[in-house]
Amino acid sequence: MQGCFLPSTDSSVCVSTRADLMSLDDLHTVDTVLNADCVAWCPHPGLQSLLLCSTYQLIEGRRTGSLLLFSTDRELRLLQVVVNMQGIFDFKWSPPNLSPIMVAAADSNGHVVLLRLDEAFNLLRMVSSTKLADSMALYVDWRESNLAVSFSDGSVSLFEINNSTLSCIQTFKNHSLEAWAAVFDVNDKNILYTGGDDCLLTVTDLRSQQLISKGRYHTAGVTHFMTNRHRPDNFVTGSYDELICLWDSRKLKAPVHELGLGGGVWRIQSENSANPKIAAACMFKGFKFIELNTEGFKEVGDFRSDERCLAYGVAISEENKIAMCTFYDHKLHVSKS
């Protein structure tokens, strides 16, 4: 698999600006051409205005995708489009303490693609593309120079990166159906959370390779996890059952709080604070904004660009800008919160 790298002169990607829509200020909207499904701000100091969006689309039986790199420093400006990739289900920027700056992308053909940000910080260059499985790679997360990758056959594997080569360290078969997420705890990178279409939520200690917890509280697929540096004993789950749940990692029989959002929760992101604002991508119900405090969750706003589209990707920057991307109408929305 090879990616084709186009500069920002690609005329097919159009940017428009709207203001004061659904209480979101200075909303910029981009047509991503292919269906948009994942978005993330660069976490590296001095580069947190960089925004990356991925796409996935089935065209004449072939899964295809792209990566779109933007600068949001003064205005939303397209820097690069990486085209002719396999459909991308998920990607992550490398952690802020790692150099060089990398992106790992999980694709529909079982590859993890590694890309490096160039020294001018405006182009991504492909470093390697490694086929890891015959099933689809669905999710990827970083722990230092390690990657956790989940697959459509229900397995989750841990890989070590050495000179752009991926070597498998551990493999877990925690799920009987698609493993939608595999997320390291930001407070303890030896703890790995996984969720699957079998409704299972698992917590694994990577040091002992033992399951700490495995249970079915959600009544549909568990799609995402969120941890917070200011809440070391808590994590949040999202699910197709339309719930977000706050858990105490010391007592996992039932969540501490839960909130129904009216649509399947595909992704959740939050501010880095003790009482954060949370943004949730709720598929056909659009994007929901929730406050978390000592009394639990409280929905405080929403955004929906089109009733026919799927809200799939959401990210909150260190500067409190919100990026949201949608499937079917292939749109990226960027605003200040």
pTM: 0.92
Element housing 43 (H / E)? none
> Does a cis peptide bond (omega within 30 degrees of 0) precede residue 232?
no
Kindly report each contact of residues 227-234 with a partner whose C-beta sits within 8 Å and lies 24 or more positions away, as own/partner. Answer: 227/183, 227/185, 227/186, 227/187, 227/193, 228/186, 228/270, 228/272, 228/273, 228/274, 228/276, 229/186, 229/187, 229/272, 230/272, 230/273, 230/274, 230/276, 231/274, 232/187, 232/188
Helices within the chain (DSSP H only): none
| Percent of the chain clearing pLDDT 90 (strictly above) | 83
Task: Note the pLDDT tens digit of each residue in 281-335.
Answer: 999 999 999 999 889 999 999 998 888 899 999 999 988 899 999 999 999 999 8
Task: Note the pLDDT tens digit of each residue in 71-125.
Answer: 998 889 999 999 999 999 999 999 998 999 999 999 999 999 999 999 999 999 9
Q: What is the pLDDT of residue 335?
A: 84
Q: What is the pLDDT of residue 5?
A: 46
